[in-house]
Each structure stands twice: as C-alpha cells, then as structure tokens.
A and B are shown apart, each in its own frame.
Chain A
C-alpha cells in the first residue's frame, strides 16, 4: 500500500482478504450485527411510512383511525430510535476500532449491550403492534401506554449507553496501545462529539422514562409539562446525535470518494465542540408556545445561547464542500469556479449521497428548522405539517441519506462483498433524495395553511364544525404523496441492494485490481483518493474576492440569501395574524 502521507489507519481500508493485516473480528461482527438490525428497523419503519402516507393522502385514506395512529407510532419509533441508533452504534464501533486500527474494548460487553437493545426494541415493538401503546413517538403523559413500552425504551437506552461507554474505552485502549500517532482523526472527533451528546441524551431518556414507567404502574405522579421538557431532552437531543454523526460521515465520505481535505482542523473541531456545548438546549424548540416557560428561558434556549450551534452547522456547511473543492483542486481540477464540481464522481453513490445530504439538510432542513425554532415564528408553525416537513429534510434527507451513502463503502470495506445491483445503487441516492425533497417541501407548504400534523382526517368528516382548507392544500398533499412514494422507492432500492449484497453478494475475491472491482463497488474503494495527497503545499489559485475556494464561497452565499429570504418572509407572515401576547 503506497502511502504518501500520514497514513489513515490502514486496517480499515484493507480491500483484499489476503493483505495480511490484523483483522478486527469483534469490530467487524459488532458493526455487522448492528447494521443488520438497523436495516430491519428501517424496513419496518419504511413500510409503516408508506401506510401513513397513503392514509394522509385523503384521496386514498387507507387505514382506519385506530391503525393510523398505531402505525404512526410504529413509524416514529422504528425510524427515529431503532434504525438511527442501531446504525449509530455501528458508526461508533467503526470510528473507534476500525479508524484507529484498534481492538474493541470489552467485546463481550458489546454483545450484551446489543442483546439488551434488541430485547428493549422487541418489547416496544410488541406493545405497539399489540395496540398497547397508541401514544405516538412522543408518548406525552397523561396518554398511557403499557408499562413494557416504557421498560423496553429504558432497556434499549441502557444498552446504547453501554455501547457509548465501550466506544470511550476503545479510544483509551487505542491510545494506550499506540495504534495511531498524534490526535484522533477528525471523523473520530466527530464521532466523539456524537457520543458525548448521546450520553446527555440517554441520561435525559433515563430521567424521563424511569419515572414514566413507575407512573404507568401507578407508583408516582407525573406532571404533563415537566414530562414535555425532559422528554424533549431525549427527543430533540437524539436528533442532535444524528447531526454530529452525519457531519462526521460527511467528512468521511468526502475523504473516501474524492480525497477531500480538511481545510483547517481547528475550525472543524471547534465547530464540533460548539455542538457539544450548545446543541442540547434545542429541546426548547418544542416548548415555545407552551404555558410552562417564560420568554427569557425560551429565547436563550431556543437560540442555543445566541445561535452557537447554528454557527457550528454553518461552519461545517462551509468546510465540508470547501474540503471537497480544495481536495479536487489540489488534484488538478482547477478549471474555473465550478470545474471541480462538474468533474466530480457523480456516479459514485457515496459522493452523490454526500452532496444531496449536505444540500437538502442545509437548504430545506436547516433553514426551516432555525426559522420555526424562532420563539414567535413558532406560533405559525407549532404542530402543523411544517414541523414534520422540516425534520424529514434533516433526519431523512440529511442523516439517513448520509448513512445510505456510507453503506455503499461499508459493504466492500467491512462486509467484504461487492455491491449487488451496482447500477441501481448508483441511482438510489438521486431517487431517494429527489423524492424526499419533493415530499418535505410539499409538506412544509401544506403546513403553512395550518394543516395539523399527526391527524387522521383533515376533511373533518365527523367533527361538529366544518373546516375546509384551500384547494392548494389538496394539491400539496398530492405532491407530498408522489414525493413520498418516490422516496419509498429509493428506500426500497437501498434495502434491496444492502440486504442482497450482505447475504447473497459476491465476495470481493482475491483479485483487487481496478479492473476486477470496477462496476461492482464505488470507485473510491479501489481508487483510494484519500491515500494520495500532495506532499507539499500546492499553490492554489486565488479567484479575486472569492478566495481559494471560490465555488464553495458562491454556494454558501446562495445559501445565506435563501436563509435570509425565508426567515424574514416568515416574520412578515406572522405579522398578518391576530395580535396575541
């Protein structure tokens, strides 16, 4: 392996089984197990998504009201908790043991934690499917589920907390055994960020689900507002684990697909630290029009203390594309402002997933999130379809898209299989991202008319008073359904490719030449651009005021313009409603 720079831990990127490098069997097995269960949860959650979609699409209105709310609960728990967290457990093993070329600390404990998580998830699934937990994802008390629902979540959270502890222990082992030199790589630093936020999140989870479990057994009282506050310490913070993990994967995908460089380690790492310090305050986003809190509390918390976590995301939103741009320029793609982007590997599903994840997360998810999370603007957004419109753009188009992209590299690098139906895999990110983009934008627009989220029948057939939404709402819901079905198709393609590759796929084989692998794995796997970096600093052309990364500068300025426009348009919209205060 010809390495010209500080070598990324080479064990991670062993392509052939015959290279004779240390095999991290424990890490491999734990990553596989967690990834497989994550995919099962994705399948269950995805089927639930289709049923929910076909019910909210009033022209079809598939499920009855009982099953609608039940399947909506199943969708939320499987997607936001089980799929995401099992996948993140795999990411933690990868970012510690594999990236640092180390053994896993306490692998047996890792299996116990895995079993605990599967058991907890199984208990939750059973209560939901048996109709004993029709309380939706948030399970706001005093809505009451079967005690096993709460106990299942507790067991799952304890298991996850143990895995996070193993992650930290593995970092210590790697340091002590000198498996790498210097400071951990940025991707691991990002995973550490995610792990620290995970601890904060899971502690909130324990703080709310243990009392709620006792409450469900009639052993103690619960306050509805206190529940909402502490629960969102879990509910929102868990999405911030996703953000940190997703950004770490952005850097990882950049490195693997085009050899993206880190423009400045200080800036990127500081931005991660800002996440740790401030991002957990965001549970306030859900409490802005609640009676339990005053304006000062709301302003300080919803803004992550003066938008420091938003600043962090805006920094990553610059440094990730800037790293791709600079990496490409250093490799000779220097033509014009956007030459590097035109000549990027758009057919590599890892690269297209990276770009689509960054763009949709930022432009749709990020902008709507900050805007709706503004104390007063939340009055015209809370509990409408604008909210799921926002978070499908973040957690699905952003996080899930990034996770899908990295999977196309995990299949050859960890599972040592070729990617089945590789031609389909190349299309998958586009189908999924375009579908989700249409879905989340149409949903957000429908929400602008006040259409409620989590609602079985917005024609209000059996209500005492009629409510007739604008025909534009019907149109938007129809568009949403089309986008959603397209995204479901993309999700189905992903599951087919991954399951087939892992269980029935062709092994990579002994022949690891480009010719042998081309067309069956993403090109970054054999081209390995991350290993070929310029020895010396190359003088990079300066494009006037746009500097050395002009393409990225143009893109972020377009982003800022969209942000400013949407933000102030919402203040204008707010000013039209009744005076209230």
Chain B
C-alpha cells in the first residue's frame, strides 16, 4: 500500500525499490562517476588547471618583491602605472591593491611565464578580459600559476572581488606581443601613454 510523505510509517519501510528507480539510480550513479573522473582527467590531459604553486607570503614582502620586479624590467609608464617587459619564461608578478593592479605586464605570445598573484590589502579577483579567466587574489598567499598567452593582443585585468567603494575602477592591463617582435615595437603599437584609448 502506498502512502504520502506526511504519513508516519508503521513497520519496516526498508523495501525493495521500484524497477524504474533502480534504472534511474544506475544512470545517475554512472553520470556522477563521469563527473568525478573528468577532473583528474583534465589534470592529465587538459591545458587549464587551477593548481599552480601555492605559498604563504607576507604582504609587505610581496610588495617589496613587486617593486624589485618593476625596477628590473620597467620599459614605460602607462596612466601612471609602470609597464614591465620581463623575459620570456621568467617569474612575473601582479599586485592587487585598493584600487589598482600593479604593474602593466607586457608578455610574449606562446611563452610560458610563472604569474604570481597576491594582494597587499584585502581580497581581490583576477579576471582576464576578454578571455574570462578568473582567480582569487588573497592577501598573505602567493598564487603562482604557469600561464601561456596563446594569442597576441591587448588585455584587461578586471577586479571581480568586492574590495571597497572604488572596486569598479580597478582595471589593469596585460599586453601580449607577437612572437619575435621587440618590446618597444609592441609598445608603440598598443597606445601606451595615451590613456588606454584603443
């Protein structure tokens, strides 16, 4: 005899399931295993994983490291923000702070870099426009991700974690030059020092 969900159950309610329920359970369980297997599979075969190398870092120490990085590789200034052109394959740094990304990075298409992300004050969000790549930027933690810009272009870094009242003005820039072109040529072609009007 069937009862509804508001009827107390007398006796043993642990009874064999309907055939339809067994069929759906089997399908659903198999699908869950597919969902689970896809994540390790993508670590082995896929090109996009959020693993990186993760470590703690003192915000003051991170700020110093970014300053050294800027001094070492600065090639220009854009909207008052230093532009750096680090060598292909090197460690590169991006600092989130209220309310700017420091510095502007100039990279080479097809080269792998180790991108360090951290904040010196509150949480920020790294969002690469127009590609929609997102990472959380947490004060006290250095998130070092190996990234390979797969095409040249002029990109933006939009902050997408609320970080205070001027959060919506926090936009940074990443320029990816074509493989083999020099840093200076790429700068001329990308309107640096003109306020970002493309």
Contact = CB atoms under 8 A, between A and B. Distances in A.
B148 interface: yes
B2 A262 contact: yes
Given A291-B141, A306-B32, A254 B168 contact: no
B21 A450 contact: no
Interface in A252-268: 252, 254-256, 259-268
A185 B7 CA distance: 5
Contacts of B28: 311, 314-315, 318, 560
A185 B141 CA distance: 49
Interface stretch (B47-55, B67-75, B84-92): B47-55
B48 A533 contact: no
B106 interface: no
Nearest to A265: B13
A289 B135 contact: yes
A464 B172 CA distance: 8
Contact of A456 (B17, B35, B168): B168
A467 B35 contact: no
B48 A224 contact: no
Contact of A266 (B13, B49, B170, B195): B13
A289 B134 contact: yes
Interface stretch (A25-33, A34-42, A499-507, A548-556): A548-556
Contact of A579 (B148, B172, B197): B148
Contacts of B20: 263, 318, 322, 546-549, 552-553
A384 B159 CA distance: 10
A170 B14 CA distance: 25
B132 A384 contact: yes
Interface residues of B, number: 98
A326 interface: yes
A497 interface: no
A495 interface: no
Interface residues of A, number: 128
Contact of A375 (B3, B14, B50, B170): B50
A5 to B, nearest CB: 6
Contacts of A376: 39, 42, 46, 48-50
Nearest to B23: A547
A351 interface: no
Contacts, number: 375
A136 interface: yes
A196 to B, nearest CB: 18
B162 A182 contact: no
B23 to A, nearest CB: 7
B165 to A, nearest CB: 6
A373 to B, nearest CB: 10
A298 B42 CA distance: 14
A408 interface: no
Nearest to A568: B38
A517 B15 CA distance: 39
Interface in B7-42: 7-11, 13-21, 23-25, 27-29, 31-33, 35-36, 38-40, 42
Given A6-B7, A464-B171, A225 B100 contact: no
A288 B54 CA distance: 13
Given A292-B54, A295-B43, A99 B165 contact: no
Given A180-B8, A225-B141, A556-B24, A571 B135 contact: no
Contact of A383 (B145, B161, B171): B161
B139 interface: yes
Contact of B145 (A140, A453, A575, A580): A580
B134 A381 contact: yes
A266 B164 contact: no
A556 B27 CA distance: 10
Contacts of B125: 382-383, 452
A224 B28 CA distance: 37
Contacts of B25: 267, 315
A139 B2 CA distance: 48
A22 B179 CA distance: 83
Nearest to A8: B6
B185 interface: no
Contact of A136 (B129, B136, B162, B198): B162
Contacts of A43: none
B13 A578 contact: no
A293 B56 CA distance: 11
Interface stretch (A337-345, A417-425, A479-487, A534-542): A534-542
9 contacts: A6-B3, A142-B122, A180-B8, A261-B2, A295-B51, A322-B18, A375-B39, A376-B49, A384-B132
Listed from nearest, the 4 A-B pairs whose CB atoms lie closest are A251-B5, A450-B132, A291-B143, A452-B160
Given A186-B9, A464-B196, 7 more contacts: A254-B5, A267-B25, A291-B142, A379-B135, A460-B169, A530-B7, A578-B48
